[in-house]
Amino acid sequence: MALTEPLQDLLERFRAGKIPALARAVTTVENERPGFQDFLHAVLRDGPHAARIGFTGPPGAGKSSLVSYLAAAYREGDERVGVVAVDPTSPYSGGALLGDRIRMNDLATDPGIFIRSMATRGSLGGLAVTTKEAIDLMDAFGFERVLVETVGVGQTELEITAAADTVIVVLVPESGDAIQAMKAGLMEIADVFVVNKADRPGAERLLKEIRQAIHLRAGSALKDVPAHHGVDLARVGARRARARPAAEETGWTIPVLKTVGQTGEGVPELIDAVERHRAWLTGSGELERRRRARARTRVRDVVDRELRRLAWGSATSGAALERGLDEIQEGEATPYSVARGIVEDLVTARRGS
Amino acid sequence: MALTEPLQDLLERFRAGKIPALARAVTTVENERPGFQDFLHAVLRDGPHAARIGFTGPPGAGKSSLVSYLAAAYREGDERVGVVAVDPTSPYSGGALLGDRIRMNDLATDPGIFIRSMATRGSLGGLAVTTKEAIDLMDAFGFERVLVETVGVGQTELEITAAADTVIVVLVPESGDAIQAMKAGLMEIADVFVVNKADRPGAERLLKEIRQAIHLRAGSALKDVPAHHGVDLARVGARRARARPAAEETGWTIPVLKTVGQTGEGVPELIDAVERHRAWLTGSGELERRRRARARTRVRDVVDRELRRLAWGSATSGAALERGLDEIQEGEATPYSVARGIVEDLVTARRGS
């Protein structure tokens, strides 16, 4: 996996800690420029080091504010911080809606912090592989902390487990009751729960609901729980247990914290919870388990991407597709016969090469 | 693409209009049983005929009620109806949360209607390819109408355009303002808007907001529109225009209707709007355009799935993956070198076969 000369240059500047080289590396990966996989291979040989902290939750929950607080706190401790913010994007658009990125501007002049906004394009509702690769790049660059912010709409938030070691789920009283959160799968992925804007009405009720749900999930009385709001709590608990070893079994109790983004109230407790989770991750062996699971997902993603690139990266396959669509329209083919032809052509072409 | 004997049997019973054969065909496809692609090829040779009507919107918007009303109305007109309901599913679980499927029970004894609930497993946040294939099966079986209900969480709702000819977006006063809907991309895909539970407070405001947003999107004054709630309305309009030819250009004005699911108020107007949209689809050539776009997506999906099946369908690749993960953990490899090895093995194996 030899690097081209420009990428070899880039690698040297990247390893020398030049921020512009990091920015260029992220762009290289995001745009899948020739050789980007070789570059990733080169910088990832040392494996992951950074503490990766993910924030997810509904739009407007104040995730950016919390990210800013944590970033500022880590900077005070002289740790370097990378931030990856993921904008949900319509698959119809290459662009991304801009949200509350602005709030981070006060951190933008600090050379010890690097903020990058990524689109979700190319991966319907999930984190794009290139986004996870940008996180890897920040890790490999030497940031002690990489903070990842994803807007939790739909299933996106679930994929944050494939990018972060510690997942913080941020809810607000307005974001609906905890039952809805469970439905969306948030309950399955949280290492820490935060009720932000906790000075607003409904905060106490939300806190109570989340704590109850966590308690139920812990499994003490699962069999006796009635279905509620159409959601079978026992079943949700069982699903979580299959997904990851229940934290309770291994000694981690999910904290449910209150914060007020505007005043910073509760932020020290959040920082403390993140530290305790980190200590638990490393002490229990869970960090290794999560990193291996992440590597597994990555290998699969990269293999699938390479196969798609082989399949669709040529003018030949594009032409075969259009020809096939004509045949389908004329009733002479179906998507299945056209697809078979494209797959066979691909294999034959490779065979001949 | 020859069928195995059991599938040939199934095909004959399917073509004879036996409902159990349809049920079995859906299961065969859903579980990707051997030869399912050949079966789909066989039944899809005639191309699509059914009117495919998709309902999407947030959980609790009352989509199932509207689906039930329309199904009942079509049955009165002696049309046969297939219903595909998609449950959002955590990727961590093979199961699906049960929602308000129950409401359809009163239709369940009618032999002219076939209801199938599908999970979204295997396709993060999107409609599983097998779900779209189930819709195709209902079409090929001879149902005049196929109604598709998807819970619009995140990006799922956007994919309904890859499954339905007419997309009905159902919102309720509680589901947040129209701006949020635009963010989620609903504005981009609606052929008909319905404000359900329109007897509740906030309905008029929501109606007004949707109408304003549609008006803005039509593009008359896009340049002068200020950013609002962090969303650049002009940009949203521009995105929609790129996605599909703006309906306004081709003669379709998106109706914004009010319904009350509990009483059935507004349902006749909805049925009428669906008919008018159908007439516009066929008259304008848009139906052919949408079907071709759907076929393009399907060919790509099927090719990608076949390649994944080739890559991961063998014990060899599973073993190579686990071995690779060990090497990554020991710092001897990266996901990129492991992935490259798996892709090369795959091509070599095919070459030798």
Please report the pLDDT score of residue B353 as a whole number.
46
8 Å CB contact of B339 and A302: yes
> Distance (Å, rounded) from C-alpha A50 to C-alpha A217?
30
What's the pLDDT band for A316 if we cut at 50, 70, 90?
Answer: confident
Quick one: closest CA in B to A330, which residue?
B47
CB B119 within 8 A of CB B89: yes
Range of the domain at A263: 44-284
Q: Which of A85-89, B126-130, B187-191 has the lowest mean pLDDT?
A: A85-89
State how far residue B304 is from chain A, nearest Cα, in angstroms. Answer: 6
Q: Please list every residue in chain B whose beta carbon sits closer than 8 Å to the beta carbon of residue A159.
A: 124
Q: Reply yes or no on whether the pLDDT at A203 is more than 50.
A: yes
Tell me: do B68 and B171 sit in the same domain.
Answer: yes
Q: Which of A262, A284, A306 is the last residue of a domain?
A: A284
Sort out which chain A residues have CB atoms less than 8 A from B329's CB and list them.
288, 291-292, 295
Span B229-271, pLDDT tens digits: 333 333 333 334 334 555 555 689 999 999 998 899 999 999 9
Q: What is the DSSP string of B11-23?
A: HHHHHTT-HHHHH
- Residue where a domain terminates, one of A284, A299, A325: A284
Residue A1 within a domain: yes
A105 burial (CB, 10 Å; 0-12 / 13-18 / 19+) is exposed
Give the residue among B49, B114, B124, B57 at the shortest CA–CA distance from B82. B114
Chain B residues with CB under 8 Å of A183 CB are: 59, 88, 97
Which residues make Cβ contacts (< 8 Å) with residue A266, sequence separation at least 6? A194, A198, A257, A258, A259, A260
Backbone dihedral region for residue A197 (phi beyond 0: left; psi -120 to 50: alpha; all else: beta): left
Q: Do A295 and B329 touch (CB under 8 A)?
A: yes
pLDDT at A64 over 70: yes
d(CA A6, CA A19): 17
Tens of pLDDT, residues A118-154: 876 544 445 778 889 999 999 999 999 999 988 765 5
Read off the amino acid at residue B50. A
User: Cβ distance A181 to A171 under 8 Å?
Assistant: yes
Confidence at residue A345, expressed as pLDDT on a 0 to 100 scale: 78
State pLDDT tens for residues A82-114: 999 886 543 333 223 333 343 455 566 778 889
- The enclosing domain of A227 has a CATH number of 3.40.50.300
| Domain annotation covers residue A165 | yes
Whether residues B153 and A158 touch (CB distance < 8 A) is answered with no
Q: Is residue B292 included in any domain, yes or no?
A: no
Query: From the candidates B217, B229, B343, which should be mutated to test the interface with A, based on the most A CB atoms within 10 A?
Result: B343
Lowest mean pLDDT among A51-65, A180-194, B43-57: A180-194
* Residue in A with minimal Cα distance to B183: A97
The CA distance from A229 to A202, in Å, is 19
Average pLDDT over residues B204-211: 90
The single-letter code of the amino acid at B123 is S
| CB contact (8 A) between residue A230 and residue B99 | yes
Establish if A132 belongs to a structural domain: yes
Question: Do residue B171 and residue B97 come from a single domain?
Answer: yes
Crossing angle between the packed helical segments A5-15 and A19-30, to the nearest 10 degrees: 130
pLDDT over 90 at A228, yes or no: no
- In this predicted structure, what is the pLDDT of residue A156? 52
Percentage of residues in chain A having pLDDT higher than 90: 49
- CA dist., res. A131 & res. A120, Å (int): 8
Contact of B138 with B87, CB cutoff 8 Å: no
Q: Mind telling me how many Å the CA of B76 is from chain A's nearest CA?
A: 30
A48 and A18 co-located in one domain: no
Among B46, B232, B331, whose Cβ lies nearest the Cβ of A47?
A: B331
* Inter-residue contact A62 to A170 (CB < 8 Å): yes
Burial B219-248 (b: 16+ CB within 10 A, else e): beebeeeeeeeebbbbbbbbbbbebbeebb
Chain A partners within 8 Å of B47 (Cβ): 328, 331
Q: Is residue A290 part of a domain?
A: no
Task: Establish whether this prediction's ipTM goes over 0.90.
Answer: no
* Cα distance between residue A87 and residue A65, in whole Å: 16
Q: How far A276 CA sits from the closest chain B CA (Å)? A: 24
**Do A225 and A330 have their domain in common?**
no
Number of folded domains that form chain A: 3
Above 60 in pLDDT, residue A333? yes
Indicate the SS3 state at residue A224: helix
Q: Are B232 and B222 in contact (CB under 8 A)?
A: no
User: Quick one: B59 and B116 in the same domain?
Assistant: yes
**Nearest chain B alpha carbon to A180:** B59
* Å between B228 CA and nearest CA of chain A: 11
Residue B187 has pLDDT above 70, yes or no: yes
B67-79 mean pLDDT: 93
Q: Can you tell me whether residue A31 is helix, strand or coil?
A: coil
In terms of Cα–Cα distance, which of B197, B123, B195, B204 is closest to B160? B123
For B19, counting Cβ atoms within 10 Å of its Cβ (0-12 exposed, 13-18 middle, 19+ buried), the class is: middle
When scoring B155, B182, B188 by the number of chain A Cβ atoms within 10 A, the one with the most, hence best to mutate, is: B155
Enumerate the residues of chain A whose CB falls inside 8 A of the CB of residue B92.
Answer: 158, 185, 188, 239-240, 242-243
Do A104 and A163 lie in one domain? The reply is yes
Residues A245, A218: one domain?
yes
Last residue of a domain, one of B285, B302, B333: B285
CB B93 to CB A242 under 8 A? Answer: yes
Best mutation site among B103, B153, B174, B180 for testing chain A: the one with the most A CBs within 10 Å? B153
Which residues of chain B does A292 touch, with a Cβ-Cβ cutoff of 8 Å?
A: 325, 328-329
pLDDT of residue A105: 54
Where helices occur in chain B by DSSP H, the ranges are 5-15, 19-30, 36-43, 63-76, 129-141, 156-159, 178-183, 186-189, 203-217, 233-243, 247-250, 267-284, 286-312, 315-329, 335-352
Mean pLDDT over A238-243 rounds to: 40
Are B82 and B12 within one domain? no
Q: Which of B239, B335, B336 sits opposite A90 (nearest CB)?
A: B239
pLDDT, tens digit (0-9, with 9 covering 90-100), for A8-50: 999 999 999 999 999 999 999 998 999 999 999 999 998 899 9
- B122 pLDDT band, cuts 50/70/90, is very low
Q: Does one domain contain both A270 and A346?
A: no
Question: A165: Cβ–Cβ under 8 A, 6 or more apart, which residues?
Answer: A51, A52, A53, A278, A281, A287, A290, A291
Report the alpha-carbon distance of residue B298 to residue A338 in Å, rounded.
10
B100 & B64 share domain: yes
Task: Provide the mean pLDDT of chain B.
Answer: 80
Contacts of B158 in chain A (CB under 8 A): 90-92, 124
Q: What is the pTM of this model?
A: 0.74
Query: Are A41 and B334 in contact (CB < 8 Å)?
Result: yes
- Domain presence at residue B290: no
Beta carbon pairs, A and B, within 8 Å? 238
Which chain A residues have a beta carbon less than 8 Å from that of B307? 304, 307-308, 310-311, 343, 346
What is residue B93's predicted lDDT score, i.e. its pLDDT?
A: 30
Identify whether residues A168 and A261 lie together within a single domain: yes
Using 50, 70 and 90 to split pLDDT, how confident is the model at A229? very low
Report yes or no on B165 lying in a domain. yes
Phi-psi region of A95 (alpha: psi -120 to 50; beta: other; left: phi over 0): beta
| Beta-carbon contacts of residue B297 (< 8 Å; ≥ 6 apart) | B162
Per the CB < 8 Å rule, is A40 touching B336?
yes
The answer to whether residue B334 scores a pLDDT higher than 80 is: yes
B190 to chain A: which residues are within 8 Å by CB? none
pLDDT in tens, A274-288: 999 999 999 999 999
**Does position B277 have pLDDT exceeding 60, yes or no?**
yes
Which two structure tokens, joined as six digits, stand for A208? 């109570």
DSSP state of A127: -
Query: Given a cut of 70, is residue B142 above it in pLDDT?
Result: yes
Q: Give the pLDDT score at B315.
A: 81
Asked if residue B327 and residue B278 are part of one domain, the reply reads: no
Q: Quick one: which of A242, A226, A245, A222 has its CA closest to A234? A: A222
Q: Do residues A347 and B350 touch, judged by C-beta distance below 8 A?
A: yes
What is the C-alpha separation between A43 and A313, in angstroms, rounded? 25
- A305 falls within a domain: no
- Polymer length in residues for chain B: 353
Chain A hits for B299, Cβ within 8 Å: 321, 324-325, 335, 338-339, 342
Residue B61 CB partners (closer than 8 Å, separation 6+): B170, B171, B172, B175, B196, B197
> From CA A148, how far away is CA A83, in angstroms rounded?
6
| C-alpha radius of gyration, chain B, whole number | 22
